[in-house]
Structure 1
Amino acid sequence: MNTGPVIARDVLMRGIRAFFYARDYAEVETPIRLKIPCMELHIDAEPSGDHFLRTSPEIFHKQLLAAGHQRIFEIGKCFRHGERGPLHHPEYTMLEWYQTGADYMDILEETKQLIACVWKGVSRDWKILPVSEAFQEFAGWDPAGNYDENRFDIDLVDKVEPAIRKIGGPVVLKDYPVEAAALSRKKNGNPLVAERWELYIDGVEIANAYSELTDPVEQRMRFEECAAQRRALGKTVYPIDEAFLQALEHMPPAGGVALGVDRLLMLLLGASTLDAVLPFRN
C-alpha cells in the first residue's frame, strides 16, 4: 500500500477543518442512508435495502438552515450508482458547506480562499467564463433561452471542457441555463439562467455551487419536470421529498457548494486518476 496519499489526505482534511473552524462554521453530520434521494436528472442513487445511499447531504443541510443554523459544513462519504472511471468512483468523499445571507459569488470568494489555504501553489489568476460566452466561443451557440439538453451535454464534454483544459489553472463556468440548475435560483435580471457555477482546475471539475432556490412552489415544479425526464429515460423516479419542500418555506437566502475532496487531493498530488489517491481498491 502506498501510504503517501493517506498522509496527504490527513493534511488536507486538517487544513479544510481549520479553515472552516476559523470562520465560525459548525461541522455537522447528516444521514448517509435516506428514504428519498434528491431528484436530479443524471445522478442515480445506490440502493441500500429499502433506503438509498446519499448522493449529497444537500437536502439535510438545507433543513438545518431552515431550522436556524447559519454556517455549516460537512466532510463525508457520498455514493453514485454506476459511476466508475478515471475521475469517477461510486464511493467518494464530499465537502459541502452553506452560508445564509450569501449568494453564489460570495461562495466563490470563499472557495478561492479555501483553495489558497490548502494549496499554496495554485494559480491566483482565476478565469471566470459565463456559460453563454463559453458556448458561443467554443461551441458556436448560446444555450440560454435555446436549451437543448443532449446538445448541451455533448458540447460541454466535447468542446467546452477541452478548451477549459487548454486554458489551465482555475476556471469557473458561471450562470448556467436554468434547465441545467435544478436546485439554484434564477439570476436577478436574467431569468433564462441560474446562479450556479462550476470550478475546474487544470480541466478537472471539482466544485459545484448555487445561490440556493428557496421557493417551494418553483422547486416542486422543477422536481416534477425532472421526474418526467427521468421517466422518459427509463430511470428510477424518486418520490418528491415533502419534508424538504416544507423546510424551504422557512429557509433564508443562502449560498452553498459541494467540492470533491478526492479530486482535489488528486490535483494536489499531481495524479491523473482517482485510483492513484485511494489506498483501497473497493
Structure 2
Amino acid sequence: MPSAFRQTTIRPWLDIRCRMIRAIRHFFEEAGYLEMETPIRIPAPAPETHIDCFASESWFLHASPELCMKRMLAAGYERIFQICRVLRKGERGARHLPEFTLLEWYTAGQDYRHMMAQCEALILSVAETLFAGASLNYQGRVIDLSPPWDRLTVGEAFVRHTPVTMEAALAEGRFDEWMGFSIEPNLGWERPVFLCDYPAACGSLARKSPSNPDVVERFELYIAGVELCNAFSELCDPAEQRRRFLEEQAARLRLGKTVYPMPESFLNALSAMPPATGNALGIDRLAMLLADRTTIDDVSAFVPEEA
C-alpha cells in the first residue's frame, strides 16, 4: 500500500542531501574555514530591488547572511562559511521555495577568479565523495565535472544565445527575460559553466572590474541549466556601497515595494573589511542535481503547502 506521507517516498533523496551536506562541511573544515552562525532576524537587509524579505515586527527575516558575515570579515575572520535557512517572499516553483537552505562562504585576500576555482574543487569533492567519480548523471545525460570548467561572459552569452546584445537588452528592460528564457536553459549540459562579468547595474554589492568599469566581477554557476550560486569580488568602499543602496531603494520605491532601511551597521563596518570574495550557493538545488531530481520538493522534507 502506498505511504500516506510524501516524506516516506523521498527518503533516498534526503539521504543524498544529508551526505552532501556532510561532505560540504568536511571540505571547508579541511581548508581551514570557521563555521559561522549569524542572526536570522535583522534590523535591515540589503535593499536589493528584486529580493523581498518577510517582516518580523519592525525587523526582517534575512534573505541571506551576507551583511553579518561581511561584518565578521571586517572583524578579522579571514575564512568563514555558513549553512543556514533563509527566507524570500514570492518565491515558489520547481526550483524555488520561500524558505530554503543556503551555503555562504567568504575568503579574504582573494577575488572571484579564486572563487571559481574553489567552486570547482568543492563540487568535484562532493561528487567524488558521493559517487566516487568526476561526473554527474542528470536526466539521462552525463555532465563532466573535471576542471577547469567553462567561463562565459554575459556579453558573450547574449551573442551566442540571443538575437540582441547585452546592452540592448538592458536598454529595453528585457535583460532578465532574455537571461531566463534564452540563455540559462542552455548552460552547463556537457560541463559546468561560469557565467561571469555582469553589467554594472546587475551587481549592487560587487566590485567593478578594474579593466572594464561597465561590468562587475560577478559570476553565477550553471549545471544542466540550473543556477547554483551567485558570487563576486566584494565591494569594500562604504561610500560607493551607500550610493548603490540608495539607487536600489529608489528602484524599490518606483515599483511600489517596501523600502528597507539603510543597513548602517554593515556600512559602518565596511571600511574595515579587507578585499575578499564571497559566494552564496543553493543547497537544495545542488541536492536536486546530485539526486537527479527536477523539482526542489523532492529534496525538501517539508514544503509550504504542508504547513
What is the TM-score of this pair, normalised by structure 1? 0.96
Measure, in 2, the Cα distance between the counterparts of 1:59 and 1:33: 12
Give the one of 155, 177, 181 matched to 1:132: 155
- The aligned counterpart of 2:90 is 82
Structure 2 distance, partners of 1:26, 1:214, is 22
Structure 2 residue identity aligned to 1:275: D
Paired position in structure 1 for 2:225: 203
SS across alignment from 2:93: coil
CA contact (8 A) 1:132 1:143 kept: yes
Instruction: Give how far 1:137 is off.
Output: 2.1
Amino acid at match of 1:100: A
Contact kept? 1:39, 1:223, Cα under 8 Å: yes
Instruction: Tell me which residue corresponds to 1:261.
Output: 283
8 Å Cα contact 2:200/2:215 also seen in 1: yes
Partner residue of 1:219 out of 207, 217, 241: 241
Match of 1:151 among 162, 170, 174: 174
Identity of aligned residues (%): 46
Give 1:270 shift: 0.3
Q: CA deviation at 1:150?
A: 2.3
Residue in structure 1 matching 2:112, options 91, 97, 104:
104
The one-letter amino acid paired with 1:15 is A
Cα distance in structure 2, aligned partners of 1:269 and 1:5: 6
**AA paired with 1:180?**
C
Deviations 1:8-27 (CA, angstroms, capped at 9, x unpaired): 22211110010000010000
Looking at structure 2, the residues matched to 143 and 128 of structure 1 have their Cα atoms a distance apart, in angstroms, of: 17
TM-score if structure 2 supplies the norm length?
0.88
Find the aligned partners of 2:211 and 2:172 in 1 and give their Cα distance. 23
Q: What is the one-letter code of the residue matched to 1:242?
A: E
Q: Report how far residue 146 of structure 1 moved.
A: 7.6
Aligned with 2:174: secondary structure?
A: helix
CA distance in 2, matches of 1:217, 1:149: 29
Q: Given residue 79 of structure 2, which amino acid in structure 1 is its aligned partner?
A: R
Distance of 1:39 and 1:148 partners within structure 2: 23
1:14-47, Cα deviation, whole Å (9 max, x unpaired): 1001000001000010000111111111100012
Q: Provide the residue aligned with 2:101 in structure 1.
A: 93
In 2, Cα distance between the equivalents of 1:40 and 1:51? Answer: 16
Which segment drifts farther, 143-152 or 249-258? Answer: 143-152
Aligned-partner Cα distance in 1 for 2:255–2:238? 25
Q: Partners of 1:181 and 1:149 in 2: how far apart?
A: 18
1:250 paired residue number: 272
- The AA in structure 1 aligned to 2:51 is I
Give the corresponding residue for 1:35: 43
SS in 1 for 2:217: strand
Q: Distance in 2 between matches of 1:243 and 1:145?
A: 37
The residue type equivalent to 2:181 in the other structure is: D
Conservation of the 8 A alpha-carbon contact between 2:44 and 2:262: yes
User: Which structure 2 segments of 5+ residues have no match?
Assistant: 1-7, 129-134, 137-143
Tell me which moved more, 41-50 or 173-182. Answer: 41-50
Deviation at 1:117, TM superposition (A): 0.5
**SS of 1:78 mapped into structure 2:** strand
1:164 aligns with 2:187: yes
CA 1:149–1:16 in structure 2 vs 1: closer, same or farther (change >3 Å)? farther
Instruction: Tell me which moved more, 124-133 or 72-81.
Output: 124-133
1:62 corresponding residue in structure 2: 70
Q: Secondary structure at the match of 1:265?
A: helix
Instruction: Measure how far apart 1:168 and its partner are.
Output: 4.0
Gaps of 5+ in 1: none
CA deviation profile, 1:205-264 (whole Å, cap 9, x unmatched): 011100000001110110011111111111111011111111111000000000000000
The one of 61, 67, 82 equivalent to 1:53 is 61
Number of residue-to-residue matches in the alignment:
281
Give the partner amino acid of 2:253. Answer: R
Which secondary structure state, in structure 2, belongs to the residue aligned with residue 147 of structure 1? Answer: helix
Shift of 1:113: 0.2
Larger Rg: 2
Q: Which amino acid aligns with 1:251?
A: M
In the alignment, the residues of structure 2 paired with residue 72 and residue 138 of structure 1 have an alpha-carbon distance, to the nearest angstrom, of 37
Residue 277 of structure 1, CA deviation: 0.9
